[in-house]
Chains A and B, each alone.
Chain A
């Protein structure tokens, strides 16, 4: 009798969880199940078989794609960490003029699309790139940036904030007295960094590095621009899928499943490892910025600015180039708005689509993700843990794979979504959900639960307490989360490229198509608008973002 009734306070979390499970079940689990089953079912779909895996892996080309993806991922993660940790140490321990500006600029690559960065590198240093041609004209030999070097460079320059920000936060969380204790026991300053400081912040570094690793494995935009003939998993899955019939996407599903296995393994390792290694020194007094003098100080400051500016140059270059005239792929140094004119002349308006989709997806993610975040922080039970895992799952799924799954699931049958705009918004919403869930639970951890109890005991129902008290208290965080979701959706390529159709081209698709044909001018204009679209909201919400997001990464 009693076991059948739900306690009054458990009703709202349960209702939210049911809605969340329904949404994630239909638009995440079911499509993924489609990918998995397509990879292990025989062509007529009746018997279990591993023949597709055998066939795909028999080709050295696809085996190479697996190895390349892993190797590039590892190399890029290593290089990124190597760049970011000294940067974090310098920023944390040195006081220099313009430091706040530097930190702000250092966070920018988080919102700038790596795909655009890759494209800029191509325009500058590619075979017919501006810098390459200038160097060749002067007779300076210049190697190729295609393949591993280019990809790793772009990853390192666009992903370093993923390591920098948590490491910086880690440095700030170290109580000064821990280091003072080491020094009072006779340890030199360098030895203290090596034996005390670094071991404490290793979990922060690793959590950032693993994010970079996952990001590189899943990324589609950068290799599609720079890999040329080098096979990369996410790109090959896409090519196979476009080439196959949607009713039997077995080979693409094999690559997709392998990709999921890779990222899932990394995520599991991360959770296992980090769960046992949180060195919480009591967040007390942060270590003061040391007065380092002389050459070390100059080297440190120069290093910081060099990294930060180098990462931003490609984006700056794109904006400059967008005001120049292209004839075919060839650039002329005449200033003009022709590129923008061409871009806006294209029917349907990719800009309108990008803005519309980003807005819809950001709204939907907040509407679904915030209540989930609330349930995860405020309720404890088995189904809450299941919800936690399910809502984190999209993080481990490459956009390409999710999109393939969505096509398999909604190409025919009861619900047909392919060919429309809704499937794009759904894909974005599912992909960005883990971010919103994590942000909102992060904010909620800082809000005392007894505020909600006070409201309820004053006679406001749990639902209205959530709407009238919790949401206003979370508002700053919700808005900044929305801005970041909006910005990252605007530059999404990996699932868009699988799911878009006819009138629903986005700015990223314009750029993608320009890679294959002419239209470099419109692509650069699209890239510039994308940069503007990413930067303007971030600038507007910068104060909010600083308070909520950067501290949360």
Chain B
């Protein structure tokens, strides 16, 4: 069992509170991501686990053993750094063997374990190369092999993909995820890229200002954000302030500007001020005469701008009364959604997130 328990951990730098009383349990074998904008404390928290940032208070234990007072070189943690931190004065094999030599492993065993580790990251035969002969993606693999070869209890990755170009980033994240599942190693991953976090993680902690804003699985965090910050950080969203206007059976109408939107929140009270979040892709275009599917509500608006970005078309739509709305639809050559045209949109009220004003 190599679960990580973080209890009431804090750290401030001068007057800045980098990590503010965080308590968090990461399960054994879990792929866990700390996600947030720069300065939110995610890297500090990771460096606390690694031992490179001191704790002002609180405890961290791995597999039931308290580690926060251990010097970092005795923690048996594998860490992958943002800029790879490959030792330029050692060959690839020398880099991978570095931690094994520190552990006084016999040289024959070092040789086999190094080649196994290189095979694991698909770098067989690269042992004698020098770091400057490798590409960014290859260096990243060496860094991962070097961190894994010591058989660490947990693997920490600090924005490991941020120095790679976009396409390689997508390939590498799949590889990292696949490797993690195969080895079943408890992994903490730090990133500011929400798409990356959604793609690889089992659970995500969205962080802001040294605290955890929301903790949950990727789908839950994206679809059910608990705060406006979490909603807007996880991807583009429409933030619509409104007032509860009335109730018809199970449907609650919210007046936004000059139009009514339907929400599925039964607890909303008449006259209450609320903020609605609606993801652009939760809206779809229907033909003017077409009836929405059961349970769906409809909206009308004028397209003011259409941005074609390949797989998607991003539309800026103006609702009656001037409320702007962002809509994303899959590319469709027959689309009627050209600037100036009026379109009808359908949406499922269950996909709207409602924040009671004051609570959000």
Looking at the assembled complex, report how far the CB atom of B42 sits from the nearest CB atom of chain A, in whole angstroms.
16
Take A7-B54, A460-B102 as given contacts and tell me if A455 and B87 are in contact as well, using a CB distance cutoff of 8 Å. Answer: yes
Q: Give Cα A490–Cα B84 distance, bound, in whole angstroms.
A: 43
Take A450-B82, A457-B77 as given contacts and tell me if A473 and B150 are in contact as well, using a CB distance cutoff of 8 Å. Answer: no
Are A453 and B89 in touch, CB under 8 angstroms? no
Q: Which of A8, A454, A457 contacts B87 (CB 8 A)?
A: A454
Within 8 A of A (CB), among B40-84: 50-52, 54, 69-79, 81-83
Q: Give Cα A457–Cα B50 distance, bound, in whole angstroms.
A: 7
Are A9 and B102 in touch, CB under 8 angstroms? no
Are B87 and A451 in touch, CB under 8 angstroms? yes
**Closest B residue by C-beta to A458:** B99
Q: Give Cα A8–Cα B52 distance, bound, in whole angstroms.
A: 9
Looking at the assembled complex, report how far the CB atom of B39 sits from the nearest CB atom of chain A, in whole angstroms.
18
| Residues of B contacting A8 in the complex (Cβ-Cβ under 8 angstroms) | 51, 69-72
Are B85 and A459 in touch, CB under 8 angstroms? no
Are B85 and A450 in touch, CB under 8 angstroms? yes
**Closest B residue by C-beta to A473:** B89
Q: Give Cα A398–Cα B65 distance, bound, in whole angstroms.
A: 57
Q: Which of B52, B87, B89, B102 contacts A459 (CB 8 A)?
A: B102
Take A7-B54, A9-B51, A473-B89 as given contacts and tell me if A457 and B83 are in contact as well, using a CB distance cutoff of 8 Å. Answer: no
| Residues of B contacting A451 in the complex (Cβ-Cβ under 8 angstroms) | 85, 87
Q: Give Cα A215–Cα B15 distance, bound, in whole angstroms.
A: 43
Q: Give Cα A473–Cα B99 distance, bound, in whole angstroms.
A: 18
Q: Give Cα A523–Cα B128 distance, bound, in whole angstroms.
A: 55
Chain A interface residue count, CB cutoff 8 Å, equals: 21
Binary interface encoding of chain B residues 322-353 relative to chain A, with 1 for a CB under 8 A from any of its CBs, else 0? 00000000000000000000000000000000
**Closest A residue by C-beta to B50:** A457
Q: Which of A448, A462, A473 contacts B73 (CB 8 A)?
A: A462
Tell me if B88 is interfacial: C-beta within 8 Å of chain A.
Answer: yes
Tell me if A199 is interfacial: C-beta within 8 Å of chain B.
Answer: no
Are B102 and A454 in touch, CB under 8 angstroms? no
Tell me if B222 is interfacial: C-beta within 8 Å of chain A.
Answer: no
Tell me if A456 is interfacial: C-beta within 8 Å of chain B.
Answer: yes
Tell me if A472 is interfacial: C-beta within 8 Å of chain B.
Answer: yes
Take A7-B54, A473-B88, A473-B89 as given contacts and tell me if A461 and B83 are in contact as well, using a CB distance cutoff of 8 Å. Answer: no
| Residues of B contacting A7 in the complex (Cβ-Cβ under 8 angstroms) | 54
Tell me if B182 is interfacial: C-beta within 8 Å of chain A.
Answer: no
Q: Give Cα A459–Cα B79 distance, bound, in whole angstroms.
A: 11
Q: Give Cα A453–Cα B79 distance, bound, in whole angstroms.
A: 9
Tell me if A469 is interfacial: C-beta within 8 Å of chain B.
Answer: yes
| Residues of A contacting B103 in the complex (Cβ-Cβ under 8 angstroms) | 459
| Residues of B contacting A457 in the complex (Cβ-Cβ under 8 angstroms) | 50-52, 72-73, 75, 77-79, 147
**Closest A residue by C-beta to B156:** A457
13 contacts between A and B (CB under 8 A): A9-B72, A448-B85, A450-B82, A453-B50, A453-B85, A454-B79, A454-B143, A457-B52, A457-B77, A458-B99, A459-B74, A459-B99, A460-B99
What are the nearest 3 A-B pairs in CB distance? A458-B99, A8-B71, A454-B85
Given contacts A8-B71, A459-B74, list 11 more A-B pairs with CB under 8 A.
A8-B51, A8-B72, A9-B54, A9-B72, A448-B83, A453-B50, A453-B85, A456-B72, A457-B79, A459-B73, A461-B71
